Structures are given as C-alpha cells and as structure tokens.
Amino acid sequence: MKTWAARILIRILVLVLILGLLIGRGLWLLHTVRIQLRQTPQGTPSPGPRPGRGSVELSDGTFTFRLDYAAFWAEFPQLQRYRCRELIPGDGVCIGPPGPPLLLLALKSHPASSARRATARRTWARPRVLGGYRVQPIFLVGVSPDPRDMALLGRESEEFGDVVLWDFAESHPNLSLKERCFLRWVGAHCGQADFIFKGDDDVFVNPPALVAYLGQTPNAPHIIYGNIQRHSVVMRGGKYRVSSTLFPQDTYPDFPSGGGFIMPRASVPALAAASEHIPIFPLDDVYFGFLVLAAGLRYRHDERFQVFGMKDELCLYGEAMLVHGVSLDRVEEVWKGLYEERRCNVTGSLPS
C-alpha cells in the first residue's frame, strides 16, 4: 500500500512540475512580448504616409479611388504608425542548398489556431519536393494575450521552424499589417521564392494541383493569380464595415480573395514599394488590391481557387487549388482519399 501511495505521489509531483514548466514558459514568452512591445517605437510613424499629407488617387480605368491620409490617421492611427518588428523571425525557412524552384505557402494564422496548423502540417503544409518545385510552408502570426497560446506557438516554432511572429496584437484590422510586413519579410528573408501562395490557414490547399498549374502557366512577373473579386460593394455595417469618411466611394478596386492566391517573385518589389505610400486599409484583401493597383500589376482569374466553397465531393477537391472553410476532420479525410487511398484521378500527385 505504501509503495502504491508513493507512486501516486510521485506522479502527482511530476504532473505539477510539468504544468509549472508550461505555465512558466508561456508567461516568459508573454513577458518577452510585452517587453518588446514597450521597446517598439509604436508612437513613431513608419516611413511612408504621414498625417495631414494630402491624398493618393488610383484609377483602374473604370473608377478612381481617393485615399485621404488624414482620414486613415484619424480612424486607424495604429495601422499607419506601426513598424514591422519580428519576435520570431523565421529567417531559416527559405535557406537550403541550390535545387528546384521554391513555392512558398505563406499562411495567415492565429496563435490559438494550433489545431489548424497541426492538421495542415500532417496533410498539405509539409515541406517536400513536388512536381519540380520545393514546397515550403510558413505561418504568419501576431500576438495573443493568452500565455498558453504563445507557449504552444513557441514550441511549434522550435520543432518545425515555420513560424514568423510579429509584435502586433491579433485583430481583424491588424490582418492588413500581415500583408505589409510579409512583403518586407520576403524581401529580407526569402527573396529566392519563385512563387508565393498567400492564404489563410482555414483552407484545404492542394499543392500537387498548384505546382501543376504553375507548370502550365507562363511565368509572367506582373500577374497575380486567384479568385478575383470585381468591384465589390463597400459595406457600411457589420464585420466588414468601412465608414464613408474613410472611404467615400461605393465600390472597391479588384482584389484577389484572401482565402488564397499566387504571386510571382518579380511582383514583390513593386508591391513592397507601393506599401510605403498607400495608407493601410483595415480590410486585408482590399488593402492588397490597392497595392496591386498602385504597383501596376494585373490579374488572372481562376475558379479553381474555390474561396466560397463548393459541392462537398472528394474528386472535386482534387481539381481545386484550394477550398475555403473546410473542417479539420474533412481536411484529413480529403487528403487521405486523394493522396493515400488515391480514390480519384487528380491533376498532380505526391511522390510515392
């Protein structure tokens, strides 16, 4: 009886120690983040638009869009003044010996979305050589106030090395900061990426179809590929509300749906340069549309970027390049059916 009780006591002590280490690690990371936030010159405007500096006008041949700097500084000053500062730089993601061209899967994620990232890593977001391309995922993340989320993210980064963490807080308007900061990050850390798939982590991505698509597509440096939204109506209420003071026009410029799109390496410098003078719009996909317009780039629309869902049939997933809004269980089922059980004839295939 004493031996049994001793074993129980030891197990309890071990569990308490492990729990203490987890909490301590999370608090340490959160404390580090807070220190970095205090040290970051948040009150100093970044290079680019300053308050009260007039406006910028962009025309797509049908509409002219006027962005007034003063209005953006009045409603979203935190977006305009933010300086991109990395807490986890992800600087080793694209490093490797010379080899196949690089397709970077850049995925916006939240620290709390560890289950989504785990599912993606088990299925479509795995580093591999595929169809003549080296496919490499990277998760783009902001800060969460929950130390448990930050602790899990820190362990993921150590294990997989596929995380970039910036010191801004996660929020819907701050998703636009991921667009701007990612363009800077690519220039500094991943200039060798031949193509970049930019999307969300709540999607099913089909890398074999992506690389097959790239193999059939001329390498045009000025074209963005995706599901292009044409002159969407501005919403004045709800989650995507934009005030008439900030943006008085009734329609937006064309933009690729944020669920996922492809941009070639040669487009990044022009997009990054545009981000230095276009005020940061609080909707990330619209903001990217303004950058594309300012950079003088063009679009190629393709319905196989299934950003609004589709009929839930296995073989249709094999034809798509991405499907938005797929549950985690369904992602596992689809991946297994397409590439392990091979129940459909798909455009591309995984290495045997």
Q: Establish if 165 belongs to a structural domain.
A: yes
- Contact indicator for 142, 284 with CB cutoff of 8 Å: no
Q: Establish if 179 belongs to a structural domain.
A: yes
Distance of CA 229 to the CA centre of its chain: 18
Q: Establish if 63 belongs to a structural domain.
A: yes
Q: Establish if 275 belongs to a structural domain.
A: yes
Is the pLDDT at 39 greater than 60, yes or no? Answer: no
- 62 confidence band (pLDDT: 50, 70, 90): very high
115 beta partners: none
Q: What is the number of domains present in the chain?
A: 1
Task: Look at residue 144 and give its three-state secondary structure.
Answer: coil
The CATH number of the domain where 167 resides is what? Answer: 3.90.550
Q: Residue 351: what pLDDT?
A: 66
State mean pLDDT over 90-115: 94
Q: Residue 190: what pLDDT?
A: 95
State mean pLDDT over 87-110: 93
Considering the entire predicted model, what is its pTM?
Answer: 0.85
Supply the range of the domain harboring residue 83: 55-91+100-307
| % the chain with pLDDT above 70 | 83
Q: What is the pLDDT of residues 239-297, one digit of tens each?
A: 999 999 999 999 999 999 978 999 999 999 999 999 999 999 999 999 999 999 999 99
Q: Establish if 337 belongs to a structural domain.
A: no
189 φ, ψ (degrees, to nearest 5) = -125, -15
Of residues 287 and 27, more confidently modeled: 287
- Contact indicator for 131, 348 with CB cutoff of 8 Å: yes
Q: Establish if 149 belongs to a structural domain.
A: yes
337 φ, ψ (degrees, to nearest 5) = -65, -40
Cβ neighbors of 34 (< 8 A, separation 6 or more) are none
CA atoms of 129 and 212, how far apart (whole Å): 13
Q: Establish if 343 belongs to a structural domain.
A: no
Residue 46 burial (C-beta neighbours within 10 Å; 0-12, 13-18, 19+) = middle
Q: Residue 4: what pLDDT?
A: 47
Q: Which of 16-30, 78-92, 104-118, 128-142 is least confident?
A: 16-30
Q: What is the DSSP string of 219-246?
A: --TTEEEEEEE-SPBPPSSSTT---TTT
Q: Establish if 323 belongs to a structural domain.
A: no
- Contact indicator for 324, 352 with CB cutoff of 8 Å: no
What are the strands, taking DSSP E only, across 126-202? 128-130, 133-143, 163-169, 193-200
- Contact indicator for 164, 88 with CB cutoff of 8 Å: yes
Q: What pairing do the DSSP bridges indicate for beta strands 133-143 and 102-108?
A: parallel
CA atoms of 275 and 179, how far apart (whole Å): 9
